Amino acid sequence: MPLSRSPVLRCLALFPAAVTAWYAYTYLFNPRAAAQIFEFDRLPSGEDEYIFTTLMGLLGAKAIFVAGSLSLAVLAAGTRYLGVMMLAMAGMAYVDGSVVGKFVGHGEWNHWGYATGLLVYGLVLVGAVDR
């Protein structure tokens, strides 16, 4: 059986979905903790806090959609589609890291390390390493 068709690899895809769901919860219900995830040097206050909380809500909505889509792909889609979802998540994490690096000045590798793992995992699921 090709590695990309392994049922174990398919089930392990629920782990990134769970991580993304945890981020969604944090963004929506504890935006101050989300500021620490992004390694902001100072927490927003006043009018900035309202904007920050709104942006965290948008990130939370994005994360819920991604976690739900990935979970449904594990349950109902083929491994190739699941791999494409992983590759899309890797791209999202690379962009998130680039934005954090630009605005915070550090912390991009916290995203890029995760993105690299998703990239390799996605490539395996789409069959790039099958013979």
- In a domain, residue 68? The reply is yes
Report the pLDDT value the prediction gives residue 68, as an integer from 0 to 100.
Answer: 94
Instruction: Classify residue 113: in a domain, yes or no.
Output: yes
What pLDDT is recorded for position 6?
A: 87
In a domain, 66, yes or no: yes
Domain total of the chain: 1
Q: Is residue 8 part of a domain?
A: yes
* 26-60: pLDDT as tens digits: 999 998 888 887 777 777 788 888 998 999 999 99
Establish how many alpha carbons lie within 13 A of residue 68's alpha carbon, considering only the half-sphere containing its beta carbon. 8
State which residues form the domain around 36: 3-126
For residue 86, the model assigns a pLDDT of 92
How would residue 131 be classed by pLDDT, with cut points 50, 70 and 90? confident
Residue 45 within any structural domain of the chain: yes
Asked whether residue 32 is domain-assigned, the answer is yes
* Whole-number pLDDT of residue 105: 87
The predicted pLDDT at position 118 comes to 94
131 found inside a domain: no
11: closest CA among 79, 92, 67, 101?
A: 79
Q: Check residue 95 and give its pLDDT.
A: 93
The CA-to-CA distance between both ends of the chain, in Å, stands at 10
In angstroms, what is the C-alpha Rg of the chain?
16
pLDDT, tens only, 86-125: 999 999 999 988 988 898 888 888 889 999 999 999 999 9
Question: Has residue 13 been placed in a domain?
Answer: yes
